[in-house]
Amino acid sequence: MLMALPEKTIIYAGHDYVEEYMDVAKNLEPDNPHIDTYMSNYDPAHVRSTLAEEFKVNPCLRFNDPKIISILEAKGQPARTEFERFKSIRDIV
C-alpha cells in the first residue's frame, strides 16, 4: 500500500534507526549517490522523508530495481520473485 502512494507523500518514522539503516544500505550499495544526500538532510529531531527519497535509498522499497536484483544474485540470495527479493533484502538487512 505504501508504494502506491504519491512520491511526494511524507513519511514520518515511528523509530529512528536512520544512521544504522543507511550504513546497511551503503554497505549493500556503496555507489548509491543518493545516500549521502539523504543523510545530509537527516534531522534526528524530526525524522521524516518523502516516498520519492525512500525510493532512492531504501533497498526494502527497491526490490524490483535491476541493480538491487543483481546485488542479491551476486550474494547468492533468492531473487526470482518479488517475495524472494523482498525477503532476501530483509535477511541481509
DSSP the chain: -GGGS-TT-EEE-SS--HHHHHHHHHHH-TT-THHHHHHHT--TTS-EEEHHHHHHH-TTT-TT-HHHHHHHHHTT---SSHHHHHHHHHHH-
pLDDT for the residue numbered 3: 87
Q: Place 21 in a pLDDT band, splitting at 50, 70 and 90.
A: confident
Question: Mean pLDDT, to the nearest integer, of 8-36?
Answer: 91
Domains in the chain: boundaries: 1-60, 63-93
